[in-house]
């Protein structure tokens, strides 16, 4: 049996000096190239779990392992976020002063190296998302679906192995939701990336090959 790409052991996260427990001893293993959906009601802890898996935050107790290395100790969180994972957020989080093609390059500025091809790579990623005609638009000139496609292109900027999507269709209509999910799944298949999607939509969660449910900070199924 191959070792998991991501693993969490007895993961706990609390806020407000322990008064709010978002995660209460979560254990989870995720293999490389797997597609996993995490669902649960609001406040269940699913987004917190995704943030810990993505190195955006540190656990109160327990550990997150990436390829058997403890996150935050054996591998730095900044480097992990820059090289290993790509994020897609519900609110897109594009930078308003930058054009689409520039937004995609923001993660590339986080890593050193030859920057001469940044523009070309960003254009190629946006073309892959079907946005070749929107390269030079600012976020406020794009539709919600287009913004999310720019965000997906941005998440692939540094060619990570893991794609983390937090409610990626939460701000979209049904047509755009279906298109975005189709894209994410297409990327997962084409690139062999691990895809972890947090959603409260059962249709999306049930379509994933693996689906876990979280309630009150614990995995219930």
Partner 1 sequence: MDSQLSFAGFAWKNLWRRRLRTLLTLCGIAMAIGAFVALVGFSRAFEHEWLRMYESTGTDLAVVEKSFLNTSLEESVGPKLSALPVVAKASPMVFNLIDLTPEINALVYGWQADSYELDSLTLTSGRRFRDGQPEILLGDILAGTLNKKAGDTLEIQGSTFTVVGIDHGGSALEAGAVIMPLDQLQKLSSLEGKVTAFHVRLRPAPAGEAQDHYVKRAQAQIEAALPGLHAIPAAERASNNQIVLLAHAAAWGTSSIALMMGILGIANTMAMSVFERTREIGILRALGWKRGRVMLLIQTEAVVLGLAGGILGLGVGWGTLRLLSALPQTASIVSASVSSLHLLEALGIAILSGLVAGAIPAWRGAHLSPVEALRHD
Residue 39 touches partner 1, criterion: CB under 8 A: no
Residue closer to partner 1 (CB basis): 87 or 205: 87
Q: Which two tokens stand for residue 7?
A: 């693993």
Span of 31-39, 64-72, 99-107, 212-220 interacting with partner 1 by CB under 8 A = 99-107
- Count of residues that bind partner 1 according to CB under 8 A: 36
Among 64, 87, 149, 167, binds partner 1 (CB under 8 A): 87
- 95 vs 80, 101, 125, CA distance in Å? 22, 11, 17
Closest to partner 1 by CB, 142 vs 205, is: 142
In the complex with partner 1, the residue whose CB is nearer, 35 or 92, is: 92
Q: Choose among 33, 18, 63: nearest CA to 188.
A: 33
Q: Which is nearer to partner 1, 54 or 161 (CB)?
A: 54
C-alpha span between 173 and 83 (Å, rounded): 31
Distance from C-alpha of 105 to C-alpha of 56, rounded to nearest angstrom: 20
- Angstrom distances, CA of residue 51 to CA of 57, 58, 74, 81, 152: 6, 9, 18, 11, 17
Single out the residue of 20, 70, 79, 127 in contact with partner 1 (rule: CB under 8 A). Answer: 79
- Token output for 71: 């996150």
Residue 211 binds to partner 1 (criterion: CB under 8 A): no
Figure out which of the listed residues 37, 75, 101, 212 binds partner 1, where binding follows CB under 8 A.
101
In angstroms, the CA 71 to CA 74 distance is 6
Q: Is 149 in the site for partner 1 (CB under 8 A)?
A: no
Exposure on the CB side of residue 192, measured as CA atoms within 13 A: 2
Partners of 13 in the β-ladder? 23
Chain residues binding partner 1 by CB under 8 A are 51, 54, 56-57, 78-83, 87, 89, 93, 95-98, 101-102, 105-107, 109-111, 115-116, 118-120, 122-123, 135-136, 154, 158
């Amino acid at each position: 049996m191959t070792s998991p790409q991501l693993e969490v052991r007895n993961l706990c996260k609390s806020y407000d000096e322990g008064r709010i427990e978002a995660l209460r001893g979560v254990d989870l293993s995720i293999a490389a190239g797997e597609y996993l959906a995490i669902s649960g009601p609001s406040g269940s802890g699913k987004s917190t779990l995704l943030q810990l898996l993505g190195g955006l935050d540190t656990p109160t107790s327990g550990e997150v392992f990436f390829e058997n290395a403890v996150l935050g100790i054996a591998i730095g969180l900044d480097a992990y976020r820059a090289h290993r994972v790509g994020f897609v957020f519900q609110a897109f989080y594009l930078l308003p002063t930058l054009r689409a093609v520039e937004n995609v390059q923001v993660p590339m500025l986080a890593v050193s190296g030859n920057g001469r091809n940044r523009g070309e790579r960003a254009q190629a990623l946006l073309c892959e998302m079907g946005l070749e005609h929107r390269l030079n638009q600012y976020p406020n000139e794009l539709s919600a679906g287009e913004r999310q496609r720019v965000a997906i292109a941005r998440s692939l900027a540094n060619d990570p192995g893991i794609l983390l999507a937090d409610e990626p269709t939460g701000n979209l209509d049904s047509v755009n939701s279906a298109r975005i999910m189709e894209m994410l799944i297409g990327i997962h298949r084409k690139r062999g990336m691990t895809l972890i999607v947090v959603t409260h939509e059962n249709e999306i969660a049930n379509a994933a090959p693996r689906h876990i449910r979280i309630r009150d900070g614990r995995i219930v199924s």
